[in-house]
Structure 1
Amino acid sequence: MTDLLFTLADLLPFSLAPDWQLAACRDDPNPEAWFPFPSQDLAHARAVCGTCPIRKRCGEFARATGQSGVWGGENLDRGR
């Protein structure tokens, strides 16, 4: 497996895509819920993701770019 290294400049086009403005987590007042410690409850993040219209694309993006945290309703560690 190849390690992917992305800079913020590489990710910017994704964040400017029109459908990312539809993300259910956008402007969430609890940003730490998206980057939980292993022992923390994921219920808040999963509940928000459950209603999100871009959930699938969000998860695909996170896996492709090696993101960590809750993406598309899944808790990922470097894209896995």
Structure 2
Amino acid sequence: MCADEISNLAELLPISDDPTWWQAECRGDPEPDRWFPFPSEGYDYATDVCNRCPIAESCREFASATGQTGIWGGVKFEQGRIVAA
């Protein structure tokens, strides 16, 4: 898949072993860049979506276990470490 073919956040995220992944509030979101903001940008959009998500805790655990960067489960991660909640 080429970068220009990516149309939503779910396509950017790694495949999860969690069977509840289909319940992710961000699934199908047309603005995936909002989960990976530049340091000078806010992340209110992503945290607002995550706050409504039934699997936010699973996302946080995934991010921590796999060294992710960006907004995962409403929390800002840098290489798997929480930097802002």
TM-score, normalised to structure 1, is: 0.79
Provide the residue aligned with 1:27 in structure 2.
Answer: 28
Q: Which runs of 5+ in 1 are unaligned?
A: 1-10
Measure the CA separation in 1 of the matches of 2:79 and 2:43.
17
Structure 1 runs of 4+ with >3 Å offset = none
Higher helix share goes to which structure? 1
CA RMSD of superposed structures (Å): 1.3
Q: Which runs of 5+ in 2 are unaligned?
A: 1-13
State the SS of the aligned residue for 1:18: coil
1 or 2 for the larger relative contact order (CA 8 Å, sep ≥6)? 1
Measure the CA separation in 1 of the matches of 2:47 and 2:21.
18
Provide the residue aligned with 1:53 in structure 2.
Answer: 54
Provide the residue aligned with 1:3 in structure 2.
Answer: none
Provide the residue aligned with 2:42 in structure 1.
Answer: 41
State the SS of the aligned residue for 2:59: helix
Q: Report deviation, 1:18.
A: 2.4
User: What number of residue pairs does the alignment pair up?
Assistant: 68
One-letter amino acid of the structure 1 residue matched with residue 75 of structure 2? E
One-letter amino acid of the structure 2 residue matched with residue 33 of structure 1? R
Q: Report deviation, 1:41.
A: 1.1
Of all paired residues, the percent bearing the same amino acid is: 50
Higher strand share goes to which structure? 2
State the SS of the aligned residue for 1:70: strand
